[in-house]
Structure 1
Amino acid sequence: MGFPGVWMTESESVVYRVVPKCACSTIGQIMYYSDNGEFFDGDIHDATSGMHKWAFEDSQALIETNITTHKSYTFTCVRNPYTRILSSFFDKICGIQRNGKRYRGNLVPLLAQKYGIEVGSPDTGFEFDQIKSFRRFLLFARDTIRWRRPMDPDIHWSATSGHVSTLIQNGGQYDAIVHTENFNEGMQRVIDAIETPHAVNLAEIPRFNESEGHGPKRLHPVEDYFDDLSMHLMFEIYKRDFRLFKYDFENPANKMPTGEIDLDEIHAKLGQ
């Protein structure tokens, strides 16, 4: 299986397991800058040089050797399941993607037909009932994760713990897991622990939110999207994420973590 979703600086100063919708654009740009002294001009996901990615065949042997020998500091970043799936909905389902098209081609028409989801249109200012459509999307997300129908789960809404676990199960070990909600504090710990060719000053790093501006703005507080049934579905899908990464399932309005992540617990439970 190898190490899908892993990025590594060319200097091998640090290894990062990408988790979609968890500040991955900003983290990738920080890594790129730390080696190259400049940011990648464009979406870091499109970069084909300047850093190692598991998706590049030439990088795989280097990444595998590094991780299995734990040569470099290794980390990942996680996010509250409530805000993460909302972000996935507004970006991937409602938004227009970088190529000017809808995400995954026929996905939105499929959702409209099978689940009655509306996503609006940029021509009309994306006017639609966001809460009703999101709750129907959540049912679809549950169906993909639980029964793999009408399609396999997408990386943007499959459980964070599933992404994080692949590195452990294939012989890797994390030195840190950063909460997106305490990003500067967590990322500073990573930077303090590594030596980079170019110094990184987090206070001067812009936030690279590549999904921003491509779709409708969220009109309501997070908690308004989740009624009792929605919360039941969230627990069914993301129970392990809430527990392992210390997020408050009972209160969707509280996006902040409730405690420190226990790395020993993560390695024990996700390494099985």
Structure 2
Amino acid sequence: MTESESMVYRVVPKCACSTIGQILYYSDHGAFFDGDIHDATHGLHKWAREDSQDLIEANIRAHASFAFTCVRNPYTRILSSFFDKICGIQRNGRRYRGNLVPMLTQKYGIEVGGDDGKEDFDQIQSFRRFLLFARDSIRWRKPMEPDIHWSAMSGHISTFIVNGGRYDRIFWTEKFDEGMQAVLDAVELPHAVDLAAIPRFNESEGHGPKRVHPVEDYFDDLSMHLVYEIYKRDFQLFKYDFDNPANKLPTGEIDLDEVHAKLGD
């Protein structure tokens, strides 16, 4: 939430959250946060800050500010998670979650391009094995609890609703400028934001190896089945095309009433 309480944003990992966080910060302060916005301990109210929680909760329950979130095609989101979090070296110079990658190598036969992620490896084979792990962690919570970067978007988004919130807008990463502009047009800001001049703060860019195949090549029939098992509600509620992994664009409009009804249980 901005300190001015102009906007409330429910973060969904791997859905332009770095850029959105910087836009919120800029709208209050007229400058971007110097560094990764996820590391900011001032200038934005965050649920992770104890001194922010009461303010955020009161705002959300009263629906005092414009509330929004952003979603992404489940196929490209899980691929991005694999290349960033599994294959990539994180900004602290280490592998994500310490022993996660060695465990995946041992239990699932996943390759990640060597110690620095720069060696050639069979990306398609390793990604499909990673999908098995993601399904296992989400469905059975084994060999570990599901990670926020590949757990379903609908799960993230539902916690806001269940705890008394209501979204004014949910937009797509694939139509970012259009969706973010609609949010900015709906609120009064201390500092105007020119979206055309905003850089894209992709904090995961360069962490891991480049994807060398088209999106659809990573998903055979079994992979698509696993993706649907994990992300069925994401495809349905946010109107993405399950049948064609090559089509990253939504196929219809998001029905906010449907989202609140189905995720508010």
Fold equivalence (TM over 0.5): yes
Hey, what's the Cα distance between the residues in 2 that align with 1:124 and 1:265?
42
Residue of structure 2 equivalent to 1:71: 64
Hey, what's the Cα distance between the residues in 1 that align with 2:262 and 2:176?
24
Residue 127 of structure 1, CA deviation: 1.3
1:53 is paired with a residue whose SS is: coil
Residue 270 of structure 1, CA deviation: 0.2
Residue 135 of structure 2 is aligned to residue 142 of structure 1: yes
Do the aligned partners of 1:34 and 1:198 also contact (CA within 8 Å) in 2?
yes
Hey, what's the Cα distance between the residues in 1 that align with 2:143 and 2:118?
29
Hey, what's the Cα distance between the residues in 2 that align with 1:96 and 1:45?
17
Residue 251 of structure 2 is aligned to residue 258 of structure 1: yes
Do the aligned partners of 1:126 and 1:215 also contact (CA within 8 Å) in 2?
no
Counterpart of 1:144, as a letter, is S
1:33-44, aligned counterparts within 5 Å?
33-44=26-37
Residue of structure 2 equivalent to 1:5: none
Hey, what's the Cα distance between the residues in 2 that align with 1:113 and 1:125?
20
- The ranges of structure 1 where at least 4 consecutive aligned residues each deviate by more than 3 angstroms after the TM superposition are none
Do the aligned partners of 2:117 and 2:208 also contact (CA within 8 Å) in 1?
no
Residue of structure 2 equivalent to 1:83: 76
> Deviation digits for residues 103-141 of structure 1, max 9, x if unmatched?
000000000000000001365723110000000000000
Pick one of 214, 231, 236 that aligns with 2:229.
236
Task: Count matched residues.
Answer: 265
Over aligned residue pairs, what C-alpha RMSD do you find?
0.8
Pick one of 33, 39, 42 that aligns with 1:49.
42
Do the aligned partners of 2:117 and 2:209 also contact (CA within 8 Å) in 1?
no
Do the aligned partners of 2:235 and 2:241 also contact (CA within 8 Å) in 1?
yes
Residue of structure 2 equivalent to 1:114: 107
Hey, what's the Cα distance between the residues in 2 that align with 1:79 and 1:47?
24
Residue of structure 2 equivalent to 1:31: 24
Pick one of 190, 194, 202 that aligns with 1:201.
194
Do the aligned partners of 1:122 and 1:215 also contact (CA within 8 Å) in 2?
no
Residue 144 of structure 2 is aligned to residue 151 of structure 1: yes
Cα 1:11–1:121 shift into 2, 3 Å: same
2:199 is paired with a residue whose SS is: coil
> Deviation digits for residues 142-192 of structure 1, max 9, x if unmatched?
000000000000000000000000000010000000100000000000000
Pick one of 90, 110, 127 that aligns with 1:97.
90
Q: Which runs of 5+ in 1 are unaligned?
A: 1-7
